[in-house]
Chains A and B, each alone.
Chain A
Amino acid sequence: MKRIVGIVLVGLGIASVLAAGSLSITGAGATFPYPMYSKWFDVYHKENPTVEINYQSIGSGGGIKQITEGTVDFGATDGPMNDDQLKTFQDKHGCAVLHFPTVLGAVVPTYNLPGVTASLNFTPQALAGIYLGKVTKWNDPLIAGANQGTSLPADDIIVVHRAESSGTTYVWTDFLSKVSEEWKTQVGKATAVKWPVGLGGQGNEGVTGTVKNTPDSIGYVELIYAESNKIPYGNVGNAAGVFVKASLAGVTAAAAGAAKAMPDDFRVSITNAPGKEAYPISSFTWLLIPARISDAAKRDALKNFLSWMLADGQNYAEALSYARLPKEVVAKEKKALAQIQ
C-alpha cells in the first residue's frame, strides 16, 4: 500500500514539474464556436508550447457569469453582454470588460417533413408565429404562402428548441425579437428564455437528433450541425424580402454593413441585416477579456493569442463552416488590443 502511494506521489510530482514550465490560461463560455476555439488553442499551443489555453464550452451564459465572478481569465459569448452586465463587471472589478469578435456563424431552421423534398421558404413572421405557438399547422397560410407549388401536410408542427442556456438561442431570439413585436414583448431575447411552446433538446446535437427522429418537427441549429448531419434546412426571408439559404457568403454579406459602422465596443447585432444577399440569422461571436489583467505574463500571452487569431487564426475558419471576420473589423480589433492593460 505504502509503495503504491509512493509511486503515485512520485508520478504526480513528475507530472506537476513537467507542466510547471508552461503558462496556463483558463477560458469558458459559448458552445457555438467551440470547434473553432478548440482548433485554435490546439494549433496555438503547438506553435507556442509554453502557453496552454484551456477552453471549457459551458454556454454563453456561463462565459458571462464566470468572467464576472472572476473565476476564469476570459469568457466567450454569442450574445454581447448587456449594459447591466457591463456595469456589474465594472463595479466588481474596477475596470471594463472588452468584446473581441472572433468569427461569424449562422443559425438555420431545420425540419423533418416526410414527403417534402423541396427546400422550404420561411418568412420571419412564419418563424415567429411557429415559435409563439400561433402557427400550429404545416399548411398554415403563413407558411404555404411562401411555398407555392409545394404541398404541405395539415399536420401539427412539433416545435423543438434548446433546453439549456445557449448562444444559439440568443441569436435565434434576437432575430425573432427584431421581426416580431409580439415576440419582443412576450418572450424577449436571451441565452435562455421561457418558451411559449415546444420541447427541449440538449445542445445543438440534441435538437438535431430530435428533429431527425420526429416527423413534422422544426428546430433551429448552428449551420455546421445541419450540414454534417445532412438534414434539410430552410431559406429565411431577409430584411430586403429575399429568401436566402444560409452560407458563408450570406453571413459575410450580413456582416458587411456592421463592419463599416462597427461601434467601438464591438457590441453589434447583425441579425436581420440589410442587403439582398445577407442571411438574416447571422451573428458574430465574441471573446470577453477584462481591460485590466494584473498578471503580466497572462496579459501578454492573451494579447499575443488575439493578434495571432486575427491574422493566421482566421485561415482556419472556413474549413469549419465559420465565416472569417471582415477586414475592417480585424483592423479595428488590432487597435483595440492596446486597451488591455
Chain B
Amino acid sequence: MATTTTTVPGAGPLAGSRSFLSRLRDGDEIARLGTFLFAASVVLITILLVYELWQGSALPRHQFGFSFFRTSVWDPVFDQFGALPFIYGTLVTSALALLIAVPLGVGAAIFLAELAPLRVSDTLEFFIDLLAAIPSVIYGLLGIFIVVPLMRRVIQPQLKHYLGFLPLFQGPAFGLGFLTAGVVLAIMIIPYIISVSREILLSVPRDQREAALALGATRWESTWKVVVPFARSGIFGSVFLALARALGETMAVTMVIGNTPVISASLLSPGDSIASVIASQFKEATGELYTQSLIELGLVLFLLTFILNGLARIMIVVTSKRGTGLGQA
C-alpha cells in the first residue's frame, strides 16, 4: 500500500542518442513497444473498472439520484433501495476501529521507533508484517468462534451493566454487531498503522530529538512534544491508509456484523456495511435495480477508498520530504 517511489535521478532512459534504426535492430524499439503494451494494460484495466462500475449502476443513479444516499429503506420487494444504513454501518465500524487502533498502533510505533534497540525493533516489525499478511477470512473465522462468544457472554453484558445508561450500550447482547465488527477491524488495521508510523517516526531527523533533550526535556517530552508533532501529518497519513483498509474490508466484517440494514445508536445492535452487503447479496440479488443498486454501493466504496488513499499518500510524502528527504514510507 504504502509505496512511494524513490526516484533515482538519471536512472531513466539513456538511449536518446542512438538512431531509431539502430535501436530497432537491437530490439530496443520492439522491447519498448512490448513492455509499453503491458504497462498500458494497467491503465486500461483501471479505466474499464471505473467504466463498468459507472455503467453497471446507471439504473439506480437515474431512478434514485442523490436520494440513494439519504434513504434508509432497503426493500427488495418494492424495489426501494437506499444506501444510508450501509454507509452508516461502514462509518461506525471504521470509526470504532480507529478509536481502538490509533492509540495502540501509534503507541507501539513510538516504542519501535524511539525506544527499542534497532535489532528488537526490526524483529518486532517482522512480526507486525506477518500480522498484516493474515487474510481477512482468517480474522473472520477467529471473530465468529472467539470474539463473538466473548462479546456475547462477557464484554457486552459488562458494558450494559456499567454503561447501560448510555444509548451506546443498550439492547440485547447478541455478540454480532457494530462493536464486534469494530474490534475485529481494529485488530486488522493495527499492523498498517504501526508499520507506516514507525517508518515516518524513524525518518524524523536525529537533531530534533537531541535538541529537545539538550534543553532538559524528558525522553517522553522530546518524543511527544517534538518528534510526534514533526511526524504528525505522516501519522495522519498512516491513519487514513488504515481507514481506507477498514472501509473496504469485507470478509471479516460480513462474518461478525450481523447483516441487518439498521441505523441504531447502540453499538450492540447488529448492522451492515457496504462491503458486507455486497458480499452477502450480490450473488442472489434478483432484478436489475437490486443488482445495480449493489454495484452503485461498490462505486461509492471505490470513491471513498480512492479519496482516502490519495489523502494518505499526500500526507506521507509531505512528512517524508520534511524529514531526511529519504522518502521511505
Q: Tell me if chains A and B make direct contact, with any CB pair below 8 A.
A: yes
Which A residues are within 8 Å of any B CB, using their own CB? 58-66, 68, 85, 158, 163-165, 187-194, 199-202, 206, 210, 213-214, 217
**Which residue of chain B is the closest to A66 with respect to CB atoms?**
B283
Give Cα distance in the complex from A58 to B280, angstroms. 9
Give Cα distance in the complex from A63 to B280, angstroms. 14
Task: Check B284 against A58 for contact (C-beta < 8 Å).
Answer: yes
With a cutoff of 8 Å between Cβ atoms, the chain A residues found around residue B175 in the complex are: 213
Interface string of B54-80 (1 = CB under 8 A from A): 000000000000000000011111101
Listed residue (B75, B259, B284, B286) with the most chain A CB atoms within 10 angstroms of its CB: B286
Task: Check B280 against A164 for contact (C-beta < 8 Å).
Answer: yes
Q: Report the 10 A-B pairs with minimum CB-CB distance, sorted nearest first.
A: A62-B284, A200-B260, A194-B75, A61-B284, A163-B259, A59-B284, A188-B77, A190-B77, A192-B76, A165-B284
With a cutoff of 8 Å between Cβ atoms, the chain A residues found around residue B152 in the complex are: 213
Known A61-B284, A194-B77, A210-B174; 13 more pairs at CB < 8 Å: A65-B283, A85-B286, A163-B270, A190-B76, A191-B76, A192-B76, A194-B75, A194-B80, A199-B172, A200-B270, A202-B280, A213-B152, A213-B175
**Contact sample, A vs B, 29 pairs, CB 8 Å cutoff:** A58-B283, A59-B284, A61-B76, A61-B286, A65-B284, A65-B285, A65-B291, A158-B172, A163-B270, A164-B259, A164-B280, A190-B76, A191-B284, A192-B76, A192-B77, A193-B76, A193-B77, A199-B172, A199-B258, A199-B269, A199-B270, A200-B260, A200-B270, A202-B258, A206-B176, A210-B174, A213-B152, A214-B172, A214-B174
Give Cα distance in the complex from A163 to B85, angstroms. 14
With a cutoff of 8 Å between Cβ atoms, the chain A residues found around residue B208 in the complex are: none
CB distance from A142 to the nearest CB of B (A): 23
With a cutoff of 8 Å between Cβ atoms, the chain B residues found around residue A199 in the complex are: 172, 174, 258, 260, 269-270
Which residue from B73, B75, B286 sits with its C-beta under 8 Å from A65? B286
B158 in the interface (beta carbon within 8 A):
no
B4 in the interface (beta carbon within 8 A):
no
CB distance from A32 to the nearest CB of B (A): 14
Give Cα distance in the complex from A294 to B152, angstroms. 53
With a cutoff of 8 Å between Cβ atoms, the chain B residues found around residue A187 in the complex are: 77
Listed residue (A64, A165, A190) with the most chain B CB atoms within 10 angstroms of its CB: A165
Query: Contacts A62-B283, A65-B286 known; A163 to B77 CB distance under 8 Å?
Result: no
With a cutoff of 8 Å between Cβ atoms, the chain B residues found around residue A213 in the complex are: 152, 174-175
Task: Check A200 against B258 for contact (C-beta < 8 Å).
Answer: yes
Give Cα distance in the complex from A165 to B75, angstroms. 11
Task: Check A163 against B283 for contact (C-beta < 8 Å).
Answer: no
With a cutoff of 8 Å between Cβ atoms, the chain A residues found around residue B281 in the complex are: 164-165, 192
**Which residue of chain A is the closest to B269 with respect to CB atoms?**
A199
**Which residue of chain B is the closest to A216 with respect to CB atoms?**
B172
CB distance from A159 to the nearest CB of B (A): 11
With a cutoff of 8 Å between Cβ atoms, the chain A residues found around residue B80 in the complex are: 194
Give Cα distance in the complex from A206 to B175, angstroms. 11
Which residue from A61, A189, A210, A217 sits with its C-beta under 8 Å from B285? A61
Give Cα distance in the complex from A48 to B270, angstroms. 46
Interface of chain B residues 142 through 195 with chain A (CB within 8 A): 152, 172, 174-176
- Chain B interface SS verdict (over half): loop
With a cutoff of 8 Å between Cβ atoms, the chain B residues found around residue A165 in the complex are: 76, 281, 284-285
With a cutoff of 8 Å between Cβ atoms, the chain A residues found around residue B76 in the complex are: 61, 165, 190-194
Give Cα distance in the complex from A62 to B76, angstroms. 13
Task: Check B284 against A188 for contact (C-beta < 8 Å).
Answer: no
CB distance from A181 to the nearest CB of B (A): 16
With a cutoff of 8 Å between Cβ atoms, the chain A residues found around residue B258 in the complex are: 163, 199-202
Give Cα distance in the complex from A26 to B182, angstroms. 37
Which residue from A65, A163, A193 sits with its C-beta under 8 Å from B260? A163
Give Cα distance in the complex from A188 to B77, angstroms. 7
Interface of chain B residues 245 through 285 with chain A (CB within 8 A): 258-260, 269-270, 272, 280-281, 283-285
With a cutoff of 8 Å between Cβ atoms, the chain A residues found around residue B172 in the complex are: 158, 199, 214, 217
Give Cα distance in the complex from A164 to B258, angstroms. 10
Task: Check A193 against B259 for contact (C-beta < 8 Å).
Answer: no
With a cutoff of 8 Å between Cβ atoms, the chain B residues found around residue A190 in the complex are: 76-77
With a cutoff of 8 Å between Cβ atoms, the chain A residues found around residue B284 in the complex are: 58-63, 65, 164-165, 191
Give Cα distance in the complex from A60 to B284, angstroms. 7
Task: Check B75 against A193 for contact (C-beta < 8 Å).
Answer: yes
CB distance from A61 to the nearest CB of B (A): 4
With a cutoff of 8 Å between Cβ atoms, the chain A residues found around residue B280 in the complex are: 163-164, 202
CB distance from B59 to the nearest CB of A (A): 14
With a cutoff of 8 Å between Cβ atoms, the chain A residues found around residue B291 in the complex are: 65
With a cutoff of 8 Å between Cβ atoms, the chain A residues found around residue B78 in the complex are: 188, 194
With a cutoff of 8 Å between Cβ atoms, the chain A residues found around residue B272 in the complex are: 163
Give Cα distance in the complex from A199 to B176, angstroms. 11
With a cutoff of 8 Å between Cβ atoms, the chain A residues found around residue B260 in the complex are: 163, 199-200
CB distance from A229 to the nearest CB of B (A): 16
Listed residue (A60, A214, A217) with the most chain B CB atoms within 10 angstroms of its CB: A214
Give Cα distance in the complex from A59 to B280, angstroms. 10
Give Cα distance in the complex from A61 to B285, angstroms. 6
Give Cα distance in the complex from A62 to B73, angstroms. 21
Which residue from B74, B259, B270 sits with its C-beta under 8 Å from A194? B74
With a cutoff of 8 Å between Cβ atoms, the chain A residues found around residue B73 in the complex are: 194
**Which residue of chain A is the closest to B254 with respect to CB atoms?**
A202
With a cutoff of 8 Å between Cβ atoms, the chain B residues found around residue A63 in the complex are: 284
Give Cα distance in the complex from A40 to B329, angstroms. 56
Task: Check B259 against A202 for contact (C-beta < 8 Å).
Answer: yes
